[in-house]
Amino acid sequence: MSHRVFVGLRPPSSVRDRLTDLMEGVENARWQDDDQLHLTLRYVGDVETHQADDLAEGLSSIIFESFDLVIASSGYFERKGILRALWAGVEPSEPLIRLQRKVERACQDVGIEPEGRKFLPHITLARLNTASGPAHAFLSETSRMRLEPWTVQEFVLFESELHPEGSIYTPIVRYPAQ
């Protein structure tokens, strides 16, 4: 059996509430709901059950201390000149980078191909397509945002199920800070 998995951080409800309050002003954007808000440390994709189990075990050996993160700024991803996603950025954080590298190592240790993309910590706020309206006003209004710091006390292995109305993310294993 195949599982679509990723490793991520889940902001506390106070931060998710603030992010949800920002989600407006772009016509036909598919805004993320509260259950979808997360920061991806490593997207893994489809793996067989045995490899997902190996990954879950490998991630359990990661030791990290809790640390603070601050959501600040916004941005977008585009493909061929078309905006595809709007996101909230994260201030630079050495503890976050160290944790992400440990997660990447754990993935590779169980045979998962190395991530080819540079790590850009963000929380996706909306998915866009060619029917979506302009996002300039949203990006202008949110480019200088800065939310209250939140303390990362765990990371999570999630399973992702694709549905027409959006993905459903289910926490599989939580890995607390030491």
Say what percent of the chain tops pLDDT 90. 95
Count how many domains the chain has. Answer: 1
Decide: 16 and 34 in contact? Cβ < 8 Å. yes
Residues 135, 141, 143: CA angle, nearest 5 degrees: 90
| Residues 36, 30: Cα–Cα separation, whole Å | 12
Q: How confident is the model at residue 109 (pLDDT cuts 50, 70, 90)?
A: very high
Whether residue 165 is predicted with pLDDT greater than 80 in this model: the reply is: no
What mean pLDDT do residues 52-70 have?
A: 98
Domain that holds residue 144: 2-176
Amino acid at 77: F
The residue whose two tokens read 């490593």 is: 42
Whether residue 134 is predicted with pLDDT greater than 90 in this model: the reply is: yes
- CATH code of the domain covering residue 86: 3.90.1140.10
pTM for the model stands at 0.95
Instruction: Give the DSSP H or E segment for 103.
Output: helix 94-109
